[in-house]
Chain A
Amino acid sequence: MGLFNFFSYFVTITAIYAIFALSLNFQYGHAGLVNFGQVFFFCIGGYTTAIAISKGLHFLPSLVLAMAVCGFAGLLISYTARNMGGTYWGIATLAVGEIVRLIFLNENWLAGGANGISLKMRIPYFEILILLFTAMAFLLTRMIMASPFGRVLKTIREGDDLALSLGKDVFSFKKKAMIVGGILGGLAGALFASQKKFINPEDFFPIETFIVWAMVVVGGKGNDMGTLWGAIIVQVFYVGSRFAKDYIPMSGNRLAALRMVSIGLLIMLTMMYRSKGLVPEKRKMYKVE
């Protein structure tokens, strides 16, 4: 791989994961929904696009379809949050993510099972398109969080009671947070599949959820700018470890295994020394004369 190709790969994969991390930050960082199954949206978004394209749909319509399907999936999952407290719900979402992966693994007719599915297409200006989508996702979450809707989300993050006592329909806000997070996660999955041009269930292990959690936590939960930084930093560790073999006398397999260790270490150090992340959430200041 030439250096330019590698660089463009790094930028696009980081941008895709940035969208994915923004989707988790919207649910967890802003609305306090502890979702351990974020890979669910990534998986469904990726497979929806792959299947749609294999059926002859064009790239952009299949992207929209993936986002719509994931938004709807977010809505469905939000109903499980109605009667479940934070941590219990987190465990449930972890299970949902695995269930979807196992369905794609075992239902061969759906998308090739373990053999995976290819996306046969060429998309002009794909890299620029991805960066545009990332910018749009970032602006969208920023605008939503600056609105009164975002203010209620931030309140719900600390518990339901205050918002309920002021007449806010808390469940409806959680539903919408899950839908927006689902749409963004689906977009990330669809772009991931389009970039990789081949996906199989191995791309959607729970470890993917762990990686986006690392991005949100390291970058600064509740801060979209921090989430972008988190995505870049974690990707540098993740992709950069491929070069480490040139400098460290160790077998490639062992270095690949150390990859996760290094990300774990990164999370630990952040938690110990910058517990609010590298770019902590900022408060909204008003002029009071």
Chain B
Amino acid sequence: MLLSVRNLQKFFGGLRALNGVSLDVEEETVTGLIGPNGSGKSTLFNVVSGFLQKEEGEVYFRDERIDGLNPDEIARRGLIRTFQIDQSALEITVLENLLLSSPNQTGERLWRFIPYFRQIRKEENENLKQAISILDLVRLKHLANEYAGNLSGGQRKLLSLGRMLMANPNLYLLDEPTAGVNPTLIKDLLVFLREEVMAKKGSTIFIIEHNMKVVSDICDKVIVLDSGEKIAEGTPTEIQNNEKVLACYLARRRTHDEESN
């Protein structure tokens, strides 16, 4: 099991954002995480990636315990996440955003930049080639030297996906990667994620997604959260016919309708 979460609890004051969640993500699969707004999906990602500290429970990544580690340590172990609200570095260019994402760069050690000058230059050239091919893939090549701050919301989602591909982790945690991206491109990218990233590199994808069409297209397994608890787990077809799931989505919609009336 690549990622195991056991009895995870996270409270914000009196709000139980995660209330004893346990789940597993198997290697070389695409696992979807769905649930109504405020059900705890992003909180789960934040706790797993180390950006929030849990109250109770354990998180195991490649059979090692990672809860309590700093986010950068977790990332260096090969678990990289994107953010629901874009976190691109806006004052550097699109291309630099990608170069930044490459792991284990010699030139990131300050005291090495003179003695390892040649090696750094060689690494930079290799990373540059890779970065440009990734930009081509996410359709941002024509904007390579543009400030990331000048991109639209959807383009920034593509950029964050590009950064992920550059970072090449074992486990991708994608928090709503398709919001604001044009539908045909989404389909291409998700097919790419499944066929190239997963099949060839052996990476695993754990994805928060609201679009059920996307979920049923690419996920092997879907986990459903509601009010901080796991209410269902299964294949996309099973989930779509699960009464509990339907009830939680429909109940929300009904109360919402009543409120708006």
Contacts and interface: CB of A to CB of B under 8 A. Distances in A.
A32 B90 CA distance: 14
Q: Which of B88, B92, B95, B99 has the most CB of A within 10 A?
A: B92
Interface string A143-186: 11001110110110111011111111110000010001000000
A125 interface: no
B93 A288 contact: no
Contact of B120 (A147, A163, A165, A286): A147
B105 to A, nearest CB: 5
A281 B75 CA distance: 30
Interface stretch (B22-30, B139-147, B211-219, B229-237): B139-147
Interface string B166-198: 010000000000000000000000000000000
Given A148-B108, A288-B95, A164 B113 contact: no
A169 B108 CA distance: 10
Given A166-B75, A168-B72, A283-B145, A155 B89 contact: yes
Contacts of A1: none
Chain B interface residue count: which class? 35 or more
Contacts of B11: none
B21 interface: no
A162 B156 CA distance: 13
A163 to B, nearest CB: 8
Given A152-B108, A180-B110, A167 B147 contact: no
B83 A161 contact: yes
Given A144-B113, A165-B81, A283-B93, A149 B144 contact: no
A144 B92 CA distance: 16
A285 interface: yes
A86 B217 CA distance: 44
Chain A interface residue count: which class? 20 to 34
A284 interface: yes
Given A151-B92, A152-B108, A167 B103 contact: yes
B174 to A, nearest CB: 12
A143 B113 CA distance: 8
B80 A165 contact: yes
A149 B51 CA distance: 23
B243 interface: no
Contacts of A167: 72-73, 75-76, 80, 103, 167
Interface in B98-128: 99-101, 103, 105-110, 113-114, 120, 124, 128
Given A149-B108, A149-B110, A152-B100, A162 B70 contact: no
Contacts of A222: 91
Q: Which of B100, B114, B144 has the most CB of A within 10 A?
A: B100
Contacts of A159: 87
A148 B72 contact: no
A149 B114 CA distance: 12
B110 A154 contact: no
A162 B88 contact: yes
A162 B99 contact: no
11 contacts: A144-B110, A147-B107, A149-B110, A151-B100, A155-B100, A165-B82, A167-B73, A167-B103, A168-B72, A169-B72, A288-B135
Given A166-B103, A222-B91, 7 more contacts: A147-B107, A151-B99, A165-B82, A166-B100, A286-B93, A288-B135, A288-B145
Closest 6 CB pairs of A and B: A148-B107, A167-B75, A167-B76, A164-B71, A155-B89, A162-B87
Interface of B: 49, 51, 70-73, 75-76, 80-83, 87-93, 95-96, 99-101, 103, 105-110, 113-114, 120, 124, 128, 132, 135, 141, 144-145, 147, 163, 167
